[in-house]
Amino acid sequence: MSGTAYPLFVDDQRTLLADYAGNVFVWDVDKTYLSTHFSSVRGLLRIPIEFAVDKRAIPGMPEVLRGLRYGPGAHYACVPLYFLTASPRQLHRVLAHKMMLDGVEHDGIIFKDWTKAVLGLRPGRLREQVGFKLAALLTTRARRPNAVEYLFGDDTEADAEAFYLYAEILSGRLKAEEQDRAMAQAGVAADDRACVAALVRQLPPHPKGSVGRAFIHLEQHTPPSFFDKYRGLVTPVAGAFQLALCLFDLDLVAARTVVECGRATAAANPSWDREAQLTDARERGLVSASKLEALGR
């Protein structure tokens, strides 16, 4: 990949206007959209040989993705939607097929290039996530410097840390030495920190874009209070339904998306407690009383 030595494979199928300042959604694939067993050695070995039909979507997530793409209004908005995954680029066709089966339109996918990582004698890159996600996000940020990005990840890896560092870098609050120190504390190797620093230097001067919010799917049931340290940037959600509620509260999806997500979640898990999810969402401020009233109507 030009501009960085980090082993990435970028499939970007959409060219936005140079001054595009609207919303862009960037989703991690593993444990955020699909139930991919990436966190285990056995899962790592299985990923390259899985077929599209082998990959299971997290209940309700395809409905959320379709709702984001459509937009909150009555007419189709085709809001830019991208994915990133630490899976190898050889899964490109498999993932594209799975998304087609789920009716999930997208504008591109960023993969970690396993072949280059291994040939570069850096197999540790297959498991490291913070450096990868920073490199991936910064690589595509240069193409849409004025956009407002909404990021989606999970708590099985350090997604929240990566997203927070990325937002701090974009805002200019973290200077070069502080960036390097923060990445080192997050376990990013020295050469990968150099890759990230080079990408930061390539950003256009004074970009107007930002990170609107980062959402973390609580796959491992991490206590929501754990994310308080990220100063309101990171919102933890217990499943697709809570995510849909929060996105509805932010006027990023329509009410129908919440309804469709709830139906899909209930169909996949008959013991799912919708009222408990609603109560928790209301108590944690994920959705306002006025929005719940509108949803009821």
pLDDT at 37: 57
pLDDT at 2: 39
pLDDT at 3: 41
Mean pLDDT, to the nearest integer, of 87-98?
Answer: 87
Strands 8-12 and 108-112: antiparallel
3-state secondary structure 114-181: HHHHHHCCCHHHHCCCHHHHHHHHHHHHCCCCCCEEEEEEECCCCHHHHHHHHHHHHHCCCCHHHHHH
pLDDT at 35: 85
Q: Is the confidence at residue 115, as pLDDT, over 90?
A: no
Q: How much is the pTM?
A: 0.92
Q: What is the mean pLDDT of the chain?
A: 90
Instruction: Give the pLDDT confidence of 139-165 residue by residue, as tens digits.
Output: 999 889 999 999 999 999 899 999 999
pLDDT band of residue 48 (cuts 50, 70, 90) is: low
Least confident of 3-7, 87-91, 247-251, 277-281: 3-7
Identify which has the larger pLDDT, 48 or 24: 24
